């Protein structure tokens, strides 16, 4: 029965990866727009990381559910959580990367695009991800480990937070991206800890989110050309911001946490 789901999963992957478009983008700093630089928006190497995560998620879901998903879930529930309460902070921190993607440039962080382009790119990515993720949940009919419903595959929290993390990495570099990915990984872990998802749900969701982030960039300039949207240089305060990010572990619960300090 699991094997019967391979075809719709592969179709979903092809649907999202298909609209690769070559485009030009404006590289900018916090002071003003630089000159336009011709550069391909799509590179085949951009498919490696999301492709590996998506294929891993599909493989475990279809062929290794009993051998991998179930033992991993048992470890989370019996060894780590050990009957403890649900810790739902992942419901809130999942929004941190996408908000950071839109907002960091407004307070002076060096970004690749001005605010309007970030907003357009993020909207495209979110629309694609929402359509594909919702379709997967409805078509694949995968029971959650806690038995609440049959919309386990993929993890919506994971695909959303990894979308935001990859947008942050592409826009601001690994200095900010590392923190965003730490948050994304924490959310994926907590989806397993709280018994809402299997490992394969989170792997597939992470790959889907990263792929959707790239699709938004591939389609940014074509969509702007189609809608005749100009490139606007405005990006908020234009001031520099110093940041410090540090991962921490709660000494009482053992939960992975993070601290972020901003100096304006």
pLDDT at 232 over 80: yes
Residue 22: CB partners within 8 Å, gap ≥ 6? 40, 41, 42
Per-residue confidence (pLDDT) for residue 227, from 0 to 100: 92
Alpha helices in 46-114 (DSSP H): 48-63, 70-75, 90-93, 96-103
pTM for this entry: 0.78
Is the CA virtual torsion 134, 19, 198, 196 positive or negative?
negative
Q: Which helix (H) or strand (E) holds 258?
A: strand 256-263
Task: Give the CA count within 13 Å in the CB-facing half-sphere of 219.
Answer: 23
Token duo for residue 182: 């730490």
List the one residue out of 54, 85, 246 whose CA is nearest residue 158: 54
Give 84-136 pLDDT, tens digit per residue: 999 999 999 999 999 999 999 998 899 999 999 999 999 999 999 999 999 99
- For residue 245, the SS3 value is strand
- 82 alpha carbon, distance to own chain's centre: 29
């Amino acid at each position: 029965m699991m094997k019967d789901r391979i075809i719709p999963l592969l179709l979903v992957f092809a649907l999202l990866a298909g609209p690769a478009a070559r485009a030009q983008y404006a590289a900018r700093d916090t002071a003003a727009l630089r000159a336009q630089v011709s550069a391909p928006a799509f590179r085949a190497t951009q498919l490696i990381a999301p492709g590996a995560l998506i294929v891993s998620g599909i493989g475990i879901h279809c062929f290794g559910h009993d051998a991998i998903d179930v033992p991993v879930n048992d470890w989370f529930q019996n060894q780590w959580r050990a009957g403890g309460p649900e810790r739902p902070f992942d419901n809130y921190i999942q929004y941190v990367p996408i908000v950071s993607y839109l907002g960091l440039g407004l307070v002076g962080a060096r970004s690749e695009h001005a605010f309007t382009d970030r907003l357009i790119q993020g909207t495209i990515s979110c629309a694609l991800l929402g359509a594909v993720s919702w379709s997967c949940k409805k078509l694949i009919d995968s029971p959650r480990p806690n038995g609440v419903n049959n919309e386990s595959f993929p993890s919506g929290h994971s695909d959303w937070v990894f979308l935001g993390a990859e947008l942050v990495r592409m826009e601001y570099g690994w200095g900010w991206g590392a923190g965003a990915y730490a948050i994304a990984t924490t959310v994926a872990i907590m989806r397993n800890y709280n018994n809402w998802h299997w490992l394969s749900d989170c792997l597939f969701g992470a790959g889907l989110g990263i792929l959707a982030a790239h699709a938004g960039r591939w389609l940014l300039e074509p969509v702007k050309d189609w809608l005749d949207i100009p490139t606007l240089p405005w990006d908020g305060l234009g001031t520099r911001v110093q940041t410090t990010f540090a991962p921490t572990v709660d000494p009482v619960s053992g939960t992975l946490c993070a601290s972020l300090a901003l100096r304006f």
